[in-house]
C-alpha cells in the first residue's frame, strides 16, 4: 500500500484519535508508523503539532510506560482550560486529576508538568494557573492567602485516591 496524506487535517487527526483510543502508543515514531500502516504519511513536526492541538498528554499506562492519551472529558488532561465549572473546589476535582495527583504528587511542594496541565484545565475556582518545570509545579491561587487551602485540598485528593486504590 502506498502511503498518502489524508485530504484534511481533521481526517488525519481523526485517524490519530482512533489509534490512541485503542492502542497504547509510547512515542511519536510509533504513532507515525501506525499511521503509515493506515496509509497516512506524516512528518514528525506535523504529528507533534497535531498532538498538541488535540490536547494529547503522556500518562503512565498499566505497565508503567508513558503513553499518549487524549482528553476524556471536561477537566481531563489535555482539555481546554476552564472546562469544568462549579463553586466548590473539591466538587470539581475530577477523577483524572485524582489519578494524576495520586501518581505524581509527593508533597504540596513537588509535582510534574502533567499535574500542572490537569490543574490548569480543570478550571478549579481557587486556582488562577500553574507554572511547571520538570519536577516542580508552582500553583498560583486567586486569593493571595489561598495557597495553604489549595495545597491541603490537593493532598486530601491524592490521599483519597491512594486509599481507594489500596481497597481495590
CB 103 within 8 A of CB 119: no
Would strands 137-141 and 127-132 be described as parallel, antiparallel, or unpaired?
Answer: antiparallel
Q: Considering the domain boundaries, does residue 1 fall inside one? A: no
CATH of residue 122? 3.30.1360.40
The Cα–Cα gap between 32 and 68 comes to: 13
The model carries a pTM of: 0.45
Question: Does residue 114 share a domain with residue 49?
Answer: no
Domain assignment of residue 2, yes or no? no
Check whether residue 64 and residue 110 sit in a common domain.
no
Q: Are residues 64 and 95 in the same domain?
A: no
94 and 49 belong to one structural domain: no
Per-residue model confidence (pLDDT) at position 50: 92
17-73 pLDDT, tens digit each: 899 988 999 999 999 999 999 999 999 999 999 998 888 888 877 777 888 888 765
The C-alpha cell at 72 is: 476524556
Amino acid at each position: 500500500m502506498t502511503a498518502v496524506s489524508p485530504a484534511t487535517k481533521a481526517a488525519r487527526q481523526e485517524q490519530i484519535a482512533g489509534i490512541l483510543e485503542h492502542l497504547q502508543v509510547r512515542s511519536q515514531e510509533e504513532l507515525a508508523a501506525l499511521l503509515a500502516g493506515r496509509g497516512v504519511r506524516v512528518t514528525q513536526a506535523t504529528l507533534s503539532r497535531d498532538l498538541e492541538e488535540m490536547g494529547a498528554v503522556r500518562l503512565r499506562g498499566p505497565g508503567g510506560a508513558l503513553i499518549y492519551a487524549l482528553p476524556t472529558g471536561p477537566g481531563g488532561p489535555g482539555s481546554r482550560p476552564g472546562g469544568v465549572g462549579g463553586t466548590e473546589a473539591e466538587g470539581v476535582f475530577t477523577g483524572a486529576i485524582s489519578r494524576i495527583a495520586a501518581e505524581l504528587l509527593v508533597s504540596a511542594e513537588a509535582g510534574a508538568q502533567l499535574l500542572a496541565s490537569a490543574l490548569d484545565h480543570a478550571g478549579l475556582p481557587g486556582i488562577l494557573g500553574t507554572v511547571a518545570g520538570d519536577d516542580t509545579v508552582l500553583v498560583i491561587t486567586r486569593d493571595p492567602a489561598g495557597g495553604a487551602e489549595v495545597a491541603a485540598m490537593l493532598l486530601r485528593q491524592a490521599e483519597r485516591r491512594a486509599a481507594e486504590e489500596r481497597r481495590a
